[in-house]
Amino acid sequence: MGKQRAKLSDQVRQAVNASGMTRYRICKTLGMGESTMSRFMTGTGGLSMENLDALADLLDMNITVGKPRPTKKGR
């Protein structure tokens, strides 16, 4: 079995936790509601594309596209 990639949402959560910024500071900087961030961080809610873009900019995140996964024939 191949190496499983972390979901994008999990990677964003990890980046938030590793940022050294408090969630409160992130929310205030972005103008995002603290309840929105809390639901996202616990996995019970999502982020709008606007909030996701702003968060990615703040955390200096980039998406890297990897090689396509080979398809399994006969399944």
Contacts of 22 (CB under 8 A, 6+ apart): none
User: What confidence score (pLDDT) does residue 74 get?
Assistant: 55
Global pTM reads 0.78
Average pLDDT, the chain: 89
- CA dist 4 → 1, 7, 10, 62 (Å): 9, 9, 13, 19
Q: How far is CA 20 from the centre of its chain?
A: 16
**DSSP letter (8 states) at residue 23:** H
Structure-token pair, residue 35? 């309840």
pLDDT band at 75 (very low <50, low <70, confident <90, very high): low
What's the average model confidence in pLDDT over 33-55? 96
Rounded Cα distance between 57 and 52, Å, is 9
